[in-house]
Amino acid sequence: MIVNLKEQHCENFLQSLHKEQWQEVRLGEVAEIISGGTPKTSIPEYWNGEIPWLSVADFNNGKKYVVASEKFITQLGLQESSTKLLQRDDIIISARGTVGVIAMIPYPMAFNQSCYGLRICSNAHSHFIYYCLKVFTKYFIHQSYGAVFDTITTKILSDFTFLLPPLTIQQKIAEILSSFDDKIDLLHRQNKTLESLALTLFRHYFIDNPKRDEWEEKPLSEVCQIKNGFAFKSEEYKKIGIPVVRTTNFKNGFVENHNLVYLDENDKNKYSKYLLQVNDFLLVMVGASLGKYAIVTSEILPALQNQNMWNFRVLGSVSQYYLNYAMQEIIANNINTASGSAREFFQKSYFYKIPILIPPKNIMMKFHTQMDNFYHKTTNNRKQIQNLQAMRDMLLKAIFA
């Protein structure tokens, strides 16, 4: 059961943890530190098997458990390389480059040499150690060093000291904090299901419709505006104020409110032409993230549009929901050049000429109404997720203060 911090006196809860009984330990006393490795990429027999093989990119998403891996290795690749197999509830921490990213393992997975695995001993609770390490991530970042990469060594990990409560209190803390993450994970999964249903409806109405050949076709220039962002100066950024949406905030097709930068609220009118609206479709049009897109939802607003992205906003009676899903099809069809190589940038003049089918208004409006219901639910879920994350983080800081 999730602790309601408004109803339960946080002070009473903290007193029940009996911090006077907590003892200082080194991480090396309660965890086995396991190094990873990479099978030789020149040997095909080592790759594309059934064993997930992790890099930090697979778990740098803020989630408690690793969801999936991009790459897989074979049993032979596991046996004939230095990589190791982590088990359920082992902990993985990134040690090089992007330092200090932490997650738990849901089922057996191998991992590369830029990470360490932690196998917790019987005198400690793995979930408690996970949350403890999450709080002290900045410690590992400050302790890392290296001429080319920032690096956590096994010595830094092993020598990390913290206060360890009795096992029963560890379990109590782990259960309460896990209840927040379990609820957050459930809401994420609900949204994934709703997003999948929305895509199915789009395909039903507009892609698989037997009458689509009869529909009118127009260039994008007659359907939407393509609005540029603004190159805001970093020296103008504030700790609070009106958010500036950057391409780094694009995640899983939506704008996330993590790692936002802000401008002074008084600059809102000055930059009013760059203010975003609900359901705006943002597209990265240059750079390494070319083709990455995000849909603006209400919980991020008010917000401003940064450079290196376009904003596709409908004109007239076309549904913004319809445009957003149609744009995903258009991007997929135009991300590569005619020769098959990846593009380096998009040209607005080219995009404005791309044809788009205009379905009958009654079909479009029926779809629009259904999408309104879907997005109302997913937006409420995201707001709940934000609130739960804030409550969990507040409790984390109080426990480990």
Question: Do residues 291 and 335 touch, judged by C-beta distance below 8 A?
Answer: yes
Tens-place pLDDT, residues 120-146: 999 999 999 999 999 988 777 776 555
Same domain (yes/no): 114, 185: no
Stretch 354-371: mean pLDDT? 95
Look at the block and give the residue holding tokens 């103008």: 236
Residues 6+ apart with CB under 8 A from 162: 24, 25, 27, 132, 136, 400
Of 2 and 211, the structure prediction assigns the larger pLDDT to 211
Residue type, 210: P
What pLDDT score was predicted for residue 239? 87
Same domain (yes/no): 380, 288: no
What pLDDT score was predicted for residue 339? 45
What pLDDT score was predicted for residue 144? 59
Same domain (yes/no): 49, 91: yes
Stretch 330-355: mean pLDDT? 79
Same domain (yes/no): 50, 75: yes
Characterize the bridge pairing of strands 242-245 and 304-305.
parallel
Q: What is the percent of the chain where pLDDT is above 90?
A: 75
Same domain (yes/no): 124, 28: yes
Helical H runs in 280-400?
A: 320-334, 348-353, 361-399
Which residues form the domain of 42?
22-164
Tens-place pLDDT, residues 21-60: 999 999 999 999 999 999 999 999 999 999 999 999 999 8
pLDDT reading at 149 higher than 90: no
pLDDT reading at 304 higher than 80: yes
Same domain (yes/no): 194, 113: no
Sign of CA dihedral 304, 310, 313, 319: negative
Question: 177-181, 262-266, 304-308: which range is least confident on average?
Answer: 262-266
Stretch 376-384: mean pLDDT? 93
CATH number at residue 133: 3.90.220.20
pLDDT category at 344 given cuts 50, 70, 90 is confident
pLDDT category at 342 given cuts 50, 70, 90 is low
Tens-place pLDDT, residues 65-101: 998 999 999 999 999 999 999 999 999 999 988 888 9
Tokens encoding 237 = 């950024």
pLDDT reading at 147 higher than 90: no
What pLDDT score was predicted for residue 88? 97
Tokens encoding 163 = 């206060």
Stretch 313-337: mean pLDDT? 90
Report if residue 8 sits inside a domain: no
User: Looking at the 3D structure of the chain, how many domains does it have?
Assistant: 3
